[in-house]
Structure 1
């Protein structure tokens, strides 16, 4: 499974209330988005992954913001189907690889990208995308490293996403705009479904 080919946009979601996890995931599926990345930034994140994995079989659920080895193991145990890290240390990379799950290790420079490539990793997260050079950076990287593919995340919006998706080395983008915090708090699942339906067409015509 290549995470980069599931959807033009991977929703990057922070959940504070485990009770919203399943209806939120179902709202994304209803809008045509079959993947979700839940960040491990809240105490309920692992429980939310567990709920989605058990109750929403139509979505691929991953764990994001993996920043230490124990988180990789805990996410696997909770039912995560892929792992995403904002950066890459040897210990975190080893722990993620040991799970056997697909992973998107983070990088922000060409040297970091090359180091990951030396480990046999060719599908990477580019973070923080906008702050690290944006689409122009990735366009420049494609020349010397044409075998690498990226999921840029960080500061990307519905308006800027097409600038990335047109690039040959971008498989998808990560974005928070599909699940606005005010919509989640209000349980406005129809709004999230509408945002997902719009996002699923961002990569059309590539």
Structure 2
């Protein structure tokens, strides 16, 4: 079985999704899988998140599904119960990290400076989220961090078709998180064909 990092590196881009209606989750996951992006980070920014993850997991057992915007142990429990493969947090919260480690659940916490990277490494973590990537200095900042620290990185926040390959060309980057191929308004209006086209474009553009 592939490790989480191997799967992330193979996928290259993880769509970051805030879904408002859990009933849309199966149709959305179908679009992602059939157009070459069999993965999703469902953020706990909406009340529908846990049920959406459950619906995706039941419909597509082999999808790589993460839970994003996980801020506390209660959300960790909800995400694990829903069937996620990994946890993502916007910042570095040692309590949340410890709880995930106790439950045997991989977590990719957010960092954007040397001190946070060192704190994460001290807790045994070697895969981190660089967030918010562009406001935190973008590619230049990430190159500076990864020149010093032996970690792998998932940049998220401001990643777009214009800069995604700039990030992916950094050796330490395992994958990028992005929202551009899954706009909330298209999900809300069930524009599956339009989302499918955006997903295909995103896949085709990777290191092309």
- The reply to whether TM is greater than 0.5 is yes
Q: Which runs of 5+ in 1 are unaligned?
A: none
Alignment of 1:37-186 (within 5 A): 37-145=41-149, 147-186=150-189
Deviations 1:88-122 (A, max 9, x none): 11211111222212221111111101111121111
CA separation of 1:200 and 1:184: change in aligned 2, threshold 3 A = same
TM-score computed with the length of structure 1 as normaliser: 0.94
Match of 2:23 in 1: 19
Residues 165 and 207, structure 2, Cα contact 8 Å, conserved in 1: no
Contact 1:130–1:155 (8 Å) recurs in 2: yes
TM-score normalised by L of structure 2: 0.93
User: Structure 1 segments of 4 or more deviating over 6 A?
Assistant: none
RMSD: 1.4
How much has 1:202 moved relative to structure 2? 4.0
> Any idea what SS the aligned residue of 2:11 has?
coil
**Alignment size in residue pairs:** 204
